[in-house]
Amino acid sequence: MTSPVQPRAVVRAVSRAAVAVRAAFGALAGGLGRWVRARAGSGRGRVFLALLAVVVLAVPSLLGLTLASALDGSDGHGGAGTRVATIGVMAPLSGDLSADGAAVRNAVALAVEEANESGAIAGWRLELSSRDDLARVDGGAQAADVFTANERLIGVVGPVSSLVARVAVPTLAAAGVPVVSPSNADPVLTGVGGGPRTRPYPSYFRLTGTDDLQAQVAAEYAVRTLGRRHIAVVDGEPRYGTTLADRFTARATALGASVTSTYPVRSGDGDDPPVDEVAASLEREAPDLIYLDADASFAGKLRARLAEGGLSVQVLGSDALLRPRYLDEAKSAADGDLITSLLTAPTRLPAAGAFVAAYAQRFGGVPGPGQADETRASRTSGTASAAASATPAADPAEADTATPAAAPSRSADEQADHDAAVKLAQRRAEALPAVAAYAYDAARAIIRAAATVLPGRPGVDAAVRHDLVAAIGRASFVGVSGTVGFDRYGDTRSPSVALYTVLAGRFVALSTQTR
């Protein structure tokens, strides 16, 4: 694509040409006058002179048209200047999940800024538009309506919540808008279950696995690894079809365990769930494992209440527990609990180092110096959320390899600076919600598709969005969260499940399984 002509350069060139023309005409003026008088005496000469006058008078008009065209900034494709396309972010930017939403928005903003700075999309500039979905269906519906009305929109990163996705994705898909979610887990969104599989939303993609996968890994760990046989289930999900707890129950039962009871608890609709009532029932039942899928506040209160009552039982929880609120409520009672998540923490992602550093430099969110309790600082810094702090403390064996103590080639001051830099990098990674890495890759999937589709296009229309969806579906690149690529249903080709434990008041990553 040719670069547009710069107006000032054209003006200077035209001015120089005009001066040269005037000089030439001045030099020729005398001879030309004699030549004209000689020709004017004959009829054929007078006709020739008339034609010459027409040509001479046309020259200023041609120069004017050239100058006007240059000043208009035409780029050779019928457009004027750089065009603008919009990437939307749908996430909870207020409320209990606002830290997740802010991390998603910031990660996408970082990807957009990098794309604009590098000129990734020839002839186009990206802008960011974020909408607060409130982690509620009404917020998601409103955000989807706003986005579909944006004629510049080329894609949406989000939603974060599957509950929101259930109402927002149908609206966006009906408009042909590409949607790449960093964290949705509801199998229904990509047509899993319910008979022969079809793809309900052709423009929808996600970068994580499903609740089916999380339930399978959790059940296998509970029954095969831990050897638990009498399991109680606490289900705090809204009743919209099959819940994660339902899926865990089916998997664990199929593996030979007995799910002795299920306690449905619903929060967020007025009164708090009956913590004491559920705890008393669990104490009477005395299972050898509790599978806990409820909001972090209720789960933490229940965990503390069970410890107060003297019930010594291990908890295996869903990623809903991967929040500072669970640790704050449960306190030391949570030590030893196990939690599964479809998101892998940044310190477990080999390619996340540069992203974490760029994010921290751009948006901060790292605990300040002089804070003795680094774990609590990271949990209250404003970026703690799902899997915030959900990263391992440095493994002693790895630390010895990565940062040799008192190496002979380093002075004491150099060693101290080196150790401080390593510690700061670790704290930055721990303070960053895991969902940020996936949101960054979701934005890059849209941007990479746009780089192949938008150049030369006069604007964003249905055909452009159709081609963007096709390009995203063909995506294959190494991202921060791992290899980014989608199957024909829009699911990631490399889903993974991470296992965490609670140790001394912090989440520690134990392992990650890729399926």
pLDDT in tens, 455-501: 999 999 999 999 999 999 999 999 999 999 999 999 999 999 999 99
Rounded CA-CA distance 25/2 in Å is 35
Rounded CA-CA distance 439/480 in Å is 10
Rounded CA-CA distance 420/264 in Å is 47
Q: Are 201 and 473 in contact (CB under 8 A)?
A: no
* Percentage above 70 pLDDT, the chain: 73
Residue bearing tokens 């040799």: 404
Between 365 and 302, the more confident residue is: 302
pTM listed for this prediction: 0.76
- pLDDT tens digits along 383-432: 333 343 333 333 333 333 334 444 456 788 887 777 776 677 667 777 79
Q: Per-residue pLDDT averaged across 226-240, rounded? A: 92
Rounded CA-CA distance 280/274 in Å is 10
- If DSSP states are collapsed to H, E and C, what string results for 112-132? HHHHHHHCCCCCEEEEEEEEE
Rounded CA-CA distance 331/483 in Å is 37
- Token pair listed for 31: 């001879």
Supply the CATH classification number for the domain 82-210+343-496.
3.40.50.2300
Grade residue 41 by pLDDT with cuts at 50, 70 and 90. low
Between 75 and 433, the more confident residue is: 433
3-state secondary structure of 428: helix
Rounded CA-CA distance 212/63 in Å is 70
Q: What is the mean pLDDT of the chain?
A: 81
Distance, CA of 211 to chain centre:
20
- Cα angle 419-422-424, degrees, rounded to a multiple of 5: 105
Supply the CATH classification number for the domain 211-341.
3.40.50.2300
- pLDDT tens digits along 192-225: 987 889 999 999 999 999 999 999 999 999 999 9
Question: Does the pLDDT of residue 242 top 70, yes or no?
Answer: yes
476-478 and 483-485 as β-strands: parallel, antiparallel, unpaired?
Answer: antiparallel
- Cα angle 84-89-95, degrees, rounded to a multiple of 5: 145
Q: Are 194 and 496 in contact (CB under 8 A)?
A: no
Rounded CA-CA distance 343/434 in Å is 6
Question: Does the pLDDT of residue 260 top 60, yes or no?
Answer: yes
Residue 317: closest CA among 345, 340, 344, 289: 340
Q: Where exactly are the structural domains of the chain?
A: 7-71, 82-210+343-496, 211-341
Between 5 and 151, the more confident residue is: 151
- DSSP states along 73-95: TB-SSS-BS-EEEEEEEEE--SS
3-state secondary structure of 413: helix
pLDDT at 24: 46
- DSSP states along 203-255: TEEESS--HHHHHHHHHHIIIIIS---EEEEEE-S--SSS-HHHHHHHHHHHT
Amino acid at 439: A
3-state secondary structure of 22: helix
Residue 337: closest CA among 347, 348, 327: 327
pLDDT at 257: 98
Q: Per-residue pLDDT averaged across 368-394, rounded? A: 33
